Chain A
Amino acid sequence: MKWILLSIVVTATALSDLLQSHEMKRAGEQSVGARGLARLLKTIAVRRYLILSIVCLAISFFAFMALVQAEPLSFAVPASAASFILETVLAKLVLKEHVGMRRGAGALLVLGGVILLAR
């Protein structure tokens, strides 16, 4: 059951992040001060891909909630970071971000760290 929950967390998180990154860049700079939050919430309300990204995130969140109840936090959190490499590759291919040597090497170091952290 824990692997099914983990798969749901990873897939839903990746989809949510891609949609969010794409839409937030198009929306322009946002902040989280009192006025910034109001503007951000308005932005979310009028962009359907952002709403879809939140639906994906909710699916990921409920699967994660069930996972943290059954497994230690020190397993659940790093294991759900499996979405990390998938998302970096998709950011390059789909979002056309520049993933150069330093960013790629840094991402691999972080991945190695997350694998060690997950035991």
Chain B
Amino acid sequence: MTANPGVRFRTYSLLSLFVFLRPLGNLSLAWGTKHFPQVLSLNPAVYLRAMVDPFVALGIGMLILALLTRMALLSLADLSFVLPVTAIGYVMATLFGQIFLHEAVSIQQWMGSVLIFAGTGLVGTTAQNTTPGPGESE
């Protein structure tokens, strides 16, 4: 079941937006929580206090937009397509972790990133939607 070029373009536009938004949101969240003075526990009051931190709030905002983008993406493409293709975000998270949080990244981790690139590319060559439904009807 091959999608028409318009649907494919819209799918990849949503994908691009998502793979930037999620790692940036995670980065902002990690930065905010690491600099938050209290340990996050099961106490909701501590979470609410953490959410007032600007970096945590920005991270949450970006992650909410990423969630909505991904939901729109799932209206056009299979879950088993979206999962590996968006895994490129893990590579970006590693890169951002190294650049902004100064986390060490080993050769093994860079090899992992190469495998993710290859897997993402391979899945990207498959039909994006293999189930009949409204998302595929155009």
- Give chain A residues whose Cβ lies under 8 Å from the Cβ of B52: none
A34 within 8 A of B: no
- Give chain B residues whose Cβ lies under 8 Å from the Cβ of A92: 80
Q: Indicate if the CB atoms of A113 and B113 lie closer than 8 Å.
A: yes
- Of B34, B50, B83, B134, chain A has the most CB atoms within 10 Å of the CB of B83
- Closest chain B CB from A54 CB (angstroms): 8
Number of A-B contacts (CB under 8 A): 216
- Closest chain B CB from A84 CB (angstroms): 6
Given contacts A107-B84, A112-B115, contact A97 B40 (CB under 8 A): no
1/0 per position for B58-84, CB-CB distance to A under 8 A? 000001010111111011101111111
- Closest chain A CB from B101 CB (angstroms): 6
Give the dominant DSSP class at B's interface: helix
The 8 Å CB contact of B112, one of A29, A73, A114, is A114
Rounded to whole angstroms, the CA-CA distance of A69 and B117 in the bound complex is: 28
The 8 Å CB contact of A29, one of B93, B94, B125, B134, is B134
Q: Indicate if the CB atoms of A40 and B79 lie closer than 8 Å.
A: no
- Give chain B residues whose Cβ lies under 8 Å from the Cβ of A76: 30
Q: Indicate if the CB atoms of B33 and A65 lie closer than 8 Å.
A: yes
- Give chain B residues whose Cβ lies under 8 Å from the Cβ of A87: 79-80, 83
Given contacts A73-B26, A107-B119, A109-B118, contact A65 B40 (CB under 8 A): yes
Q: Indicate if the CB atoms of A106 and B109 lie closer than 8 Å.
A: no
A117 within 8 A of B: yes
A26 within 8 A of B: yes
- Give chain A residues whose Cβ lies under 8 Å from the Cβ of B91: 113, 117
Q: Indicate if the CB atoms of B97 and A74 lie closer than 8 Å.
A: yes
Q: Indicate if the CB atoms of B74 and A96 lie closer than 8 Å.
A: no
Q: List A residues 103-119 near B (Cβ within 8 Å).
A: 103, 105-119
- Give chain B residues whose Cβ lies under 8 Å from the Cβ of A45: none
Known: A102-B126, A110-B119, A114-B112. 8 other contacts (CB 8 A): A25-B135, A32-B14, A72-B103, A78-B90, A105-B122, A106-B126, A110-B123, A116-B112
Residues of chain B touching chain A, judged by Cβ–Cβ distance below 8 Å, are 7, 10, 14, 17, 26-27, 29-30, 33-34, 36, 39-41, 47, 50, 63, 65, 67-72, 74-76, 78-84, 87, 90-91, 93-94, 96-98, 101, 103, 105-106, 108-109, 111-127, 130-131, 133-135, 137-138
